[in-house]
Amino acid sequence: MQVQRLDTDLFAGHRVAEDGSDLWANLSPQAVAEKAEQIRLRLVEANDRELYRRLLERFVRAIEASGAEVPEDEELQMRQLDLLLVRRPGLLREAFKSLRQGQVLDVDVLLPAELFSDQPLRSANRGLYGVFPAGLNQDELAIAERLDASTQVRWWHRNQPKSGIGLYRWDEGDGFYPDFVVSVAERSAPGIALLELKGDHLWGKPSEVDKSAAIHREYGAVFMVGRKRGERDFFYLRELGGRLERAGSFDLDRMRFT
């Protein structure tokens, strides 16, 4: 006989089925509380004490609205809230993400008129400033050389973190600055594509996987590419089963399309 346990999502109003026993309920309240705290602390910009107080208030209201009996003991309320957080760790993240995205304002960014360097830089035919910028790693340089040699590229620019073109609607509010901004011939207006390079050691990291879904309001989805260590060829990457997986050879012709 198959045993099925049903957990009610008090925040979203739908039910989730899980096979097997509830392992969290068998742990000590202290262990569950520590795990719940770890989940809350992932929201680095939130005040944890204030966040927990408001979550508890919201949790109690949700119980009341469901018609269930609210435990009189606040300690028991807290234990039940902790159990909800550890059973459904994505609830808090998604709620915070939705809140932060509603606060994002679109701001136009002007690229610097000049590029300054204390050292001589190698010239580039299609680099926005006519040179390959300093500080490129091996993979970044390989991609820059591909862009620079392609007749499909009008110009390319190495985007700078914290000062270049950033995307803020892909997660809880952290900025994502794609590695390259590329003006592509025959791409629909405004003719700009964003390109992100990802080392294979990051293909399974959740925050990096999430970036594959990032979309700029004018330039569209970010093209993500990478190659495994020691390999020569680059591949487009896409999310599959919670990881970044290969999705065809890196061909600049694909960047003509949104």
Q: What is the pLDDT of residues 7-49, one digit of tens each?
A: 444 344 333 344 445 566 677 888 888 988 888 877 766 788 8
**Which pLDDT does position 87 carry in this prediction?**
86
Helix, strand or coil, per DSSP, at residue 8: strand
234 torsion bin: left (phi>0), alpha (psi -120 to 50), beta (else): beta
Looking at the structure, tell me whether residues 179 and 81 fall in a common domain: no
Looking at the structure, tell me whether residues 148 and 80 fall in a common domain: no
Looking at the structure, tell me whether residues 225 and 151 fall in a common domain: yes
Residue 257 Cα to chain centre, angstroms: 23
Looking at the structure, tell me whether residues 88 and 142 fall in a common domain: no
Residue 98 Cα to chain centre, angstroms: 13
CATH number at residue 249: 3.40.1350
DSSP, res 107: -
The domain total for the chain is 2
Taking the C-alpha atoms of residue 103 and residue 18, their distance in angstroms, rounded to an integer, is 34
CA distances from 44 to 37, 38, 161 (A): 12, 11, 19
Residue with the bigger pLDDT between 236 and 16: it is 236
Looking at the structure, tell me whether residues 87 and 142 fall in a common domain: no
Quick check: is 125 in a domain?
no
Looking at the structure, tell me whether residues 142 and 92 fall in a common domain: no
Give Cβ neighbours of residue 141 (< 8 Å, ≥ 6 apart): 132
Asked whether the predicted pLDDT for residue 165 surpasses 70, the reply is: no
Quick check: is 75 in a domain?
yes
60 torsion bin: left (phi>0), alpha (psi -120 to 50), beta (else): alpha
Quick check: is 122 in a domain?
no
Backbone angles phi, psi at 198, to 5 degrees: -135, 120
Give me the DSSP letters along 114-170: ----SS---B-SSBTTSBPPTT--HHHHHHHHHHHH-TTEEEEEEPPTTTS--B-SS
Mean model confidence pLDDT for the chain: 81
Looking at the structure, tell me whether residues 175 and 231 fall in a common domain: yes
Domain boundary among 79, 101, 123: 101
Taking the C-alpha atoms of residue 153 and residue 150, their distance in angstroms, rounded to an integer, is 6
Quick check: is 66 in a domain?
yes
Q: In terms of DSSP bridges, do strands 223-226 and 235-240 run parallel, antiparallel, or are they unpaired? A: antiparallel
- Do the Cβ atoms of 164 and 177 come closer than 8 Å? yes
What distance separates the 2 farthest-apart alpha carbons in the chain?
Answer: 74
Q: What is the pLDDT of residues 171-198, one digit of tens each?
A: 555 667 889 999 999 898 899 999 999 9
Looking at the structure, tell me whether residues 60 and 163 fall in a common domain: no
Report CA dihedral (5, 9, 13, 19) to the nearest 10 degrees.
-30
Quick check: is 111 in a domain?
no
Looking at the structure, tell me whether residues 13 and 93 fall in a common domain: yes
Domain, as residue range, for 8? 4-101
Looking at the structure, tell me whether residues 20 and 84 fall in a common domain: yes
**Which pLDDT does position 223 carry in this prediction?**
96
Looking at the structure, tell me whether residues 94 and 148 fall in a common domain: no
**Which pLDDT does position 25 carry in this prediction?**
67
Looking at the structure, tell me whether residues 165 and 94 fall in a common domain: no
Of 19-33, 101-115, 134-148, 207-221, the least confident: 101-115
